[in-house]
Amino acid sequence: MRLAGKNTVVTGAASGIGRETALRFAEEGAGVVCADMDTEGAAAVAASIVANGGAAHSVRADITSEADAARLAEESLAALDRIDVLVNNAGVTILGGVAELSEAEWQREIDINLSGAYRVSKAFWPHFADAGGGAILSTASIAGVVAARQDAAYVASKAGLIMLTRCMALDGAPHGIRANCVCPGFVDTPMFEGFIAEQPDPDASLARAAGRTPLGRIGTPRDIADGFVYLASDDARWITGTSLVIDGGLTIGLPE
């Protein structure tokens, strides 16, 4: 098992990519803290891991709160004694261009997607530095690499997260802390389902999304979780500051 002996914290673990990442890490032998505002969902994921012979705990965490981020670090360390990997996965999307987004919508998206990753990473940083290293992984997006219409706050937050990852990689290197992120394309998650549901013709939008992907399908949460397993493992021991695009080829070239 590729993560045997490692302990990890996954934010946004109650559903979608976070849920699958927590389950995959456990399959690979890691102890897991499932963190989410959705306490029932996070507890269900942790219970599933334990039922299959793994070690898991759930913690309610509001990553817009510095105090909650600190408490997440404290409770995670109390539960598992040592944390080797942090996965900043919690996020939201609020559609709208600059002219349509309210100040509150803009701030909320930046506060969760970008500042949330900063707060949680900062809370765990002293532990990683004292332990001689660790891995900080984050869920960015292809929207942080290429722009999208009517999605200004989300795109800005994910682009910022990519650069935050690179800064943490530079700052963390002397302490043995690696920082990397994954940039998913279209993935079948509750967030993506909500996005499709808001389109004028959801069925046509879903077909168009799959058709634009060279490998011919929408991604699954497991596709992304497998990328996180790799980046968390010792196979990636000399990889830091990278953005791993997992998008079925969506961003490799212009459509026909």
Each residue of 6-48: pLDDT tens digit? 999 999 999 999 999 999 999 999 999 999 999 999 999 999 9
State the DSSP code for 238.
T
Q: Are 187 and 219 in contact (CB under 8 A)?
A: yes
Q: Are 228 and 137 in contact (CB under 8 A)?
A: yes
Cα angle: 8, vertex 137, 155; to 5 degrees: 140
Rounded mean pLDDT, 212-241: 96
* Domain extents in the chain: 7-184+219-239
Task: Looking at 173-201, list the stretches that DSSP marks H as alpha helix, in order from N- to C-terminal side.
Answer: 190-197
Catalytic residue (choose from 118, 124, 128, 154): 154
Per-residue pLDDT tens for 152-171? 999 999 999 999 999 999 99
Residue 154 among the catalytic residues: yes
Per-residue pLDDT tens for 71-84? 999 999 999 999 99
Cβ atoms within 10 A of the Cβ of 74, count? 13
Q: pLDDT-based confidence at 129, cuts 50/70/90? A: very high
The radius of gyration of the chain from alpha carbons, rounded to an integer in Å, stands at: 17
State how far the Cα of 3 lies from the Cα of 18, in Å rounded to an integer.
17
pLDDT at 202: 79
Place of tokens 């959801």: 202
Question: Which two structure tokens, joined as six digits, stand for 131?
Answer: 């332990």
State the DSSP code for 63.
T
Query: Between 3.90.230.10, 3.40.50.720, 3.40.50.300, 1.10.287.90, what CATH number should domain 7-184+219-239 receive?
Result: 3.40.50.720
State how far the Cα of 220 lies from the Cα of 158, in Å rounded to an integer.
20
State how far the Cα of 98 lies from the Cα of 134, in Å rounded to an integer.
37
